[in-house]
Structure 1
Amino acid sequence: MFIDAHAHMISRTTDDYQAMAAAGVVALIEPSFWIGQPRTYVGTYVDYLSHIVGFERFRASQFGIRHYCTIGLNSKEANNEELAEGVMEILPQFALKEGVVAIGEIGYDEQTPLEDKYFRAQLELAKELDLPVMIHTPHRDKKKGTLRSMDVCREHGVDPNKIVVDHNNEETVEDVLDRGFWAAFSIYPSTKMGNVRMVELLKRYGGDRVILDSATDWGISDPLAVPKTAELARQSGVSEEAIRKATYANALTAYGQSGQMSEADWIDGLRVDQTQLHEGNSILRGGRDPVVENVKAGTAGLIIE
């Protein structure tokens, strides 16, 4: 069984859900993020957040996958102060929705004063609601931004055990682990962290406090990155215990602190009922027969012919 702890499924197809279920993904976490172009007003944020706590949760369930999400103002759009102020007003109501396991992904992009302002404000929201935090580390000046992110968390008195620092690489991982934070890695083609590199890190650091995810989104990315990396690690001699921690158990422990995510949600299997509708919508097309069955955790493999 696998948990993909960072997957932007709003940008993926039902085929991806089918493939993930067939590969053993039993649960995933969808962080709120930048959609590829700037949102123009707060209403578009409301609709987006409503989608990932609503329809996307339904869509995943139709393939035997438990869907969770994180809620936050992303660092890119924190630079639009008018938008950011509006988003901050609505975040608390969404953060309390069923299935929300953290505030995130938040942090720095260009490391501007506005990004810093809203990063800190959202850390305070996480403290108020007693939720974990998912941190987005910047693509440029990554080490500087990662260290700064952790320093700010410390300043605000947030327990490192409740902070998942994502998008790590070879130059950041040691600092993150040494400071007691969770170190997440996005296995992403051509950038962030490739699976061969990730296997080498697992050999060096083991599986403690390490979390693997796909960060699959609207770009060139792989929704099967977690199970593929697990298999490569297995072939490379990484222990089963380390693989299980990095691809399943650690994500469950870190985000389970929200009280919204538990192994009991899927361990005895899931009821898949494709006759169900969400706001009148079905995943089925063209008169296909719906699947209605109990699916054992990690063995879904649902195919709609």
Structure 2
Amino acid sequence: MRIFDPHIHMTSRTTDDYAAMAAAGVLALVEPAFWLGQPRTNPGSFTDYFDALLGWEPFRASQFGIRHHCTIALNPKEANDPRCREVLPLLPRYLAKDRVVAVGEIGYDSMTPDEDEVFAAQLEMAVDADLPALVHTPHRDKLVGTRRSIDVVKESGIEPGRVVLDHLNELTVAEVAASGCWMGFSIYPDTKMSPDRMVAILREHGLERMLVNSAADWGKSDPLLTLRTGEAMLAAGFTSDDVDRVLWRNPVEFYGQSKRLDLDGISDGATYAGNSILRGGS
């Protein structure tokens, strides 16, 4: 089983986690910029964090044979802090970096006017940078927040196929599927989504535009729940090819739209729309 975790916060994880992930078949990942738990107080703390996502964390991952990519953005929670919003003018120079494969996490936390403004501004940045967008749906009032997110995506003019709405559940998946956006699911030990619930969603809604991630942040989480979901799929009668599509080919297809994935030697000729996304045309 080969795994591309499309949303995992490795800054919060240990080297033991990297070793376990590599042993489980994780070959590549995307680490989205997010809220670290402790409030930031100035733009400089963001730039140090972004620099770590582009430098130190890829180095850590490489020690275990894992290809590390990231997304860059001002996260929804800190969009409400005027001190944090000062980082917005700095984002375009980070969005031009090679390892940045999307703008994210953006979207909603509490659905405030400030979040509306920052969400729309960063979708515009995604269009300008020709990058996909990773949208965080709120943990409270999720259905309302998901519908509102779909509306903002429509208003932005970005192609829905270049947007993933993440942290979905049984209540929100159908409307996101109908919108044309990609559907992201975070598999957690006690909250959000479990492997068995994910299998039921895949049975009902199919495999197209589905992304399964572990998120694995600083809270109670498990970076191996992508593997557990693949195992649950096999136990439920899905084929090995089905598992490969969900855990490998789908994230390659979505983030391949950035034209920045670095998968040389491990992607087995994966293509997007008939074109290789590998560096050097190999």
Do both proteins adopt the same fold according to a TM-score greater than 0.5, normalized to the shorter chain? yes
Question: What is the aligned partner in structure 2 of residue 61 from structure 1?
Answer: 62
| Matching of residues 1-305 of structure 1 within 5 Å | 1-84=2-85, 86-261=86-261, 263-264=263-264, 266-267=266-267
- Distance, in Å, in 2 between the alignment partners of 1:156 and 1:241 is 35
Query: Whose relative contact order is higher, 1 or 2, with alpha carbons under 8 Å and at least 6 apart?
Result: 1
Percent of aligned pairs sharing the same letter: 51
8 Å Cα contact 2:67/2:262 also seen in 1: no
**Larger radius of gyration, structure 1 or 2?**
1
- After TM superposition, the structure 1 stretch with the greater mean CA deviation from structure 2, 232-241 or 129-138, is 232-241
- Distance, in Å, in 2 between the alignment partners of 1:192 and 1:87 is 30
Which amino acid letter does the alignment assign opposite residue 8 of structure 1?
H
- Distance, in Å, in 1 between the alignment partners of 2:177 and 2:241 is 18
Deviations 1:69-119 (A, max 9, x none): 0000000000012321x2101111111112100000100000000000000
CA positional deviation for 1:265:
5.5
Secondary structure, in 3 states, of the residue corresponding to 1:98?
Answer: coil
- Distance, in Å, in 1 between the alignment partners of 2:113 and 2:9 is 27
Root mean square deviation, CA, Å: 1.1
- Distance, in Å, in 1 between the alignment partners of 2:234 and 2:186 is 18
Which amino acid letter does the alignment assign opposite residue 81 of structure 1?
P
- Distance, in Å, in 2 between the alignment partners of 1:7 and 1:36 is 15
Structure 1 unaligned regions, length at least 5: 269-305
Which amino acid letter does the alignment assign opposite residue 250 of structure 1?
N
TM-score by length of 1: 0.85
- Distance, in Å, in 2 between the alignment partners of 1:161 and 1:54 is 29
Secondary structure, in 3 states, of the residue corresponding to 2:149?
Answer: helix
Question: What is the aligned partner in structure 1 of residue 277 from structure 2?
Answer: none
Secondary structure, in 3 states, of the residue corresponding to 1:264?
Answer: coil
8 Å Cα contact 1:168/1:185 also seen in 2: yes
Structure 2 unaligned regions, length at least 5: 269-282
Secondary structure, in 3 states, of the residue corresponding to 2:184?
Answer: strand
Which amino acid letter does the alignment assign opposite residue 225 of structure 1?
L
- Distance, in Å, in 1 between the alignment partners of 2:75 and 2:142 is 16
8 Å Cα contact 1:69/1:99 also seen in 2: yes
- Distance, in Å, in 1 between the alignment partners of 2:15 and 2:263 is 24
Question: What is the aligned partner in structure 2 of residue 287 from structure 1?
Answer: none
Deviations 1:6-46 (A, max 9, x none): 00000100000001011001000000000012111111111
CA positional deviation for 1:263:
4.1
8 Å Cα contact 2:67/2:263 also seen in 1: no
- Distance, in Å, in 1 between the alignment partners of 2:205 and 2:238 is 11
- Distance, in Å, in 1 between the alignment partners of 2:146 and 2:46 is 26
Which amino acid letter does the alignment assign opposite residue 207 of structure 1?
L
- Distance, in Å, in 1 between the alignment partners of 2:204 and 2:238 is 10
- Distance, in Å, in 1 between the alignment partners of 2:146 and 2:171 is 10
Which amino acid letter does the alignment assign opposite residue 217 of structure 1?
D
